[in-house]
Amino acid sequence: MDLLLEGFSTALTPTNLLFAVLGVLLGTAVGVLPGIGPAMTVALLLPVTYSVPADSALIMFAGIYYGGMYGGSTTSILLNTPGESSSVITALEGNKMAKTGRAAQALATAAIGSFVAGTIGTVLLILLAPKVGPLVVQLGAPSYFAIMLVALVSVTVVLGSSKLRGFIALFLGLALGLVGMTSGQPRMTFGFAELSDGIEIVVVAVAIFALGEALWVAAHLRHKPLEVIPVGQPWMSRSDWSRSWKPWLRGTALGFPFGALPAGGAEVPTFLSYVTERRLSKHPEEFGKGAIEGVAGPEAANNASAAGTLLPMLALGLPTTATAAVILVAFESYGLQPGPQFMSQNEDLVWALLASLFVANTLLLVLNLPLAPVWAKLLRIPRPYLYAGILFFATLGAYSASTSPFDLGLLLVLGVLGFAMRRFGIPVLPLIIGVILGPRLEEQLSEALQISRGDYSTLWGEPVAIICYLLMGLLVASLVVARLRSPRPTTPTSVTEKDEVNT
Amino acid sequence: MSIVIAYSPDIYGRAALDHGVAEALLRETRLVVVNATRGDSLVDSHYAHEDEIQQVLNRLEAEGVDAKVRRDVVPDIADAVLTVAEEEGATLVVVGIRHRTPVGKMLLGSVAQRVILDADCPVLAVKPTKR
């Protein structure tokens, strides 16, 4: 408790409060705009880590992450275009509600539900994080290796409809992670001296998220404008409250654990929450026509999963969403390595971050409830202006990573790769997680093999490792079974896949 | 032979529509309502909703004008109006005009100005009625 209060004293200094406000404002803005997500924003802002102290920068990034979850719902409800992959499900009922003139209630239940879920999720995070810390310290290299392997496989397999595309992205990411010096030998540098230090992850993240998206938008610049539903002040009636509070809690209960799982993210729990609400609802006939439960549940779930995601990230250094992956890059640029010893070694920082989550969450409620119509105005920004700005910051960010013109060329090449991935529907998340986890996977593997003097059986010599491999086996087996049972998957290339690309 | 109206769903567009309809009835010509968008932002408040266009069509039908609506996604609105005017052999183009602040003049172009200066046929520039 003292630690938390100390965290608040760091988070509430005027400077950090300002960074928190900046973070939530930016986060909401990018959440509202489809195609631009918190992952891209944090990637673009990575250069601030060179001049801003660690606590301020991380507080801002946390604000962006939470803010993105709030903002996404606004676009889902008013435009029927999810601003964020986590709000895809919200659009199902939210937009129907808006069309029947209940946009204000939909926005209100989304914002308040997000607040409730975010708060509960953060409390859970604060309770669990110190417990998990000591457990992870005991893990040896083989277990660690296995856990990372599970994370890579499940992120690739669970999300998106095509496993093949997922694995293409994963191996692209792992290949990029291989570039650099290993035991004194240059590997995959193709004779470029500049590549011998490896590819800066900042450059990869900026290229894939920002440049790829900008090129993609440039290729599809002119669209028929969408019809935005005008809305006043969000508010809820008594019956809306009584219909919302249970879905909020159930959404939180689904969201947090899924966020904490290696394959979590927000897509699965929001979907599950929607299905649950539809089954439990007292007004099943309203589903499909604008049921408030169908907005309240998924919106709570996606914010709770954002809190859940931070658990494996802080305790294990395992990112499970694109945004968490990029925030991890920020940690690394401060020379901090989230993982077993991280929590005990950087207590001040971790608690300041956790306290700032409460601050961010409260700020978001205050900002979003009255300002939702204002945020919707952001959608009128012409894309050329928006993406010109993004390209500027992308170039600046990539160049400042190591002030080398070579990186700019690399940025361009990888940007074209990012564009191609969007073109062919290859998800971005496995790539970015592959780039980040690849080198660490290798490190753990060689460490484990060094300790065992090259005996491979050490890899399954720890109980945790065995459990991980069993899980992985189950996962793959269940996929095979599912494929055998229904040779033609009934779900067509879904919305989720497209939006995953957009995260 | 037709009259082209540069329409947008605001008081200026409606003023243009009112005067255009009156003129079309007087001259007994066809009416072409142009509502174009650059389509480069997600939401364009100058681009009318489907149901609003339907209202306009219903009104034109009620008034007994032979009319059609062109809703195009184009790189430049003024060019779109001028192109339609040329294609339809317009005898008159109607645009709504508005006051602009000095800063606004510096920052933004004017569709109405471009249409007035570049059209081959006479242009009727109208203002919303003051109350």
B101 touching A (Cβ < 8 Å): no
Residue B114 CB partners (closer than 8 Å, separation 6+): B78, B79, B82
Look up residue A129 and give its two tokens.
Answer: 């994080």
A225 touching B (Cβ < 8 Å): yes
What pLDDT shows up at residue A172?
93
Range ranked top by mean pLDDT from A285-299, A334-348, A414-428: A414-428
Residue A255 scores a pLDDT above 80: yes
Long-range CB contacts for residues A282-286, cutoff 8 Å, separation at least 24:
A283/A243
CA distances from A203 to A106, A212, A332, A400 (A): 39, 12, 14, 10
CA distance A496 to A43: 22
Q: What is the C-alpha radius of gyration for chain A, rounded to an integer number of angstroms?
A: 22
What is the number of residues in chain A? 503
User: Which residue is it, tokens 């001040």?
Assistant: A348
Closest CA to A32 of A398, A368, A273: A368
Residue A479 CB partners (closer than 8 Å, separation 6+): A157, A163
pLDDT 10s digits, A32-65 = 888 788 888 998 888 888 888 888 898 899 899 8
CA distance A283 to A243: 10
Q: What is the mean pLDDT of each run of 10 residues along chain B (131 residues)?
A: 88 90 90 87 80 87 87 87 90 90 78 90 89 61
Q: Do B37 and A224 count as a contact with CB atoms less than 8 A apart?
A: yes
What pLDDT shows up at residue A497?
40
Residue A161 scores a pLDDT above 70: no
Burial of B51 (0-12, 13-18, 19+ CB in 10 A): exposed
Residue A306 scores a pLDDT above 70: yes
Residue A232 CB partners (closer than 8 Å, separation 6+): A104, A373
What pLDDT shows up at residue B83?
92
Question: Looking at chain A from residue 171 to 200, which residues have their Cβ under 8 Å from any Cβ of chain B?
Answer: none
| Helix (H) or strand (E) run with residue A276 in it | helix A267-280
What pLDDT shows up at residue B131?
61
A228 touching B (Cβ < 8 Å): yes
**Closest residue in B to A34 (Cα–Cα):** B42
Residue A330 scores a pLDDT above 70: yes
What's the whole-number average pLDDT of chain A?
A: 83
Q: What is the C-alpha radius of gyration for chain B, rounded to an integer number of angstroms?
A: 14
**Testing the interface with A: which of B8, B37, B40 to mutate, by most A Cβ within 10 A?**
B40
What pLDDT shows up at residue A173?
92
Continuous H helices in chain B: 11-27, 50-63, 77-87, 102-107, 111-118
Contact A92, A324 (CB under 8 A): no
What pLDDT shows up at residue A490?
46
What pLDDT shows up at residue B94?
93
pLDDT 10s digits, A65-108 = 888 888 888 888 888 877 777 788 888 888 888 888 888 888 88
What pLDDT shows up at residue A502?
42
pLDDT 10s digits, A265-279 = 777 888 888 888 888
Partners of residue A72 in chain B, C-beta under 8 Å: none
Residue of higher predicted confidence among A438 and A496 = A438
DSSP 3-state of A187? strand
In DSSP notation, A90-143 reads HHHHHHHHHHTT-HHHHHHHHHHHHHHHHHHHHHHHHHHHHHHHHHHHT--HHH
Q: Do B43 and A228 count as a contact with CB atoms less than 8 A apart?
A: yes
DSSP 3-state of A249? helix
What pLDDT shows up at residue A496?
40
Partners of residue B38 in chain A, C-beta under 8 Å: 222, 382
Residue A282 scores a pLDDT above 90: no
Q: Sign of the CA dihedral A401, A402, A403, A404?
A: negative
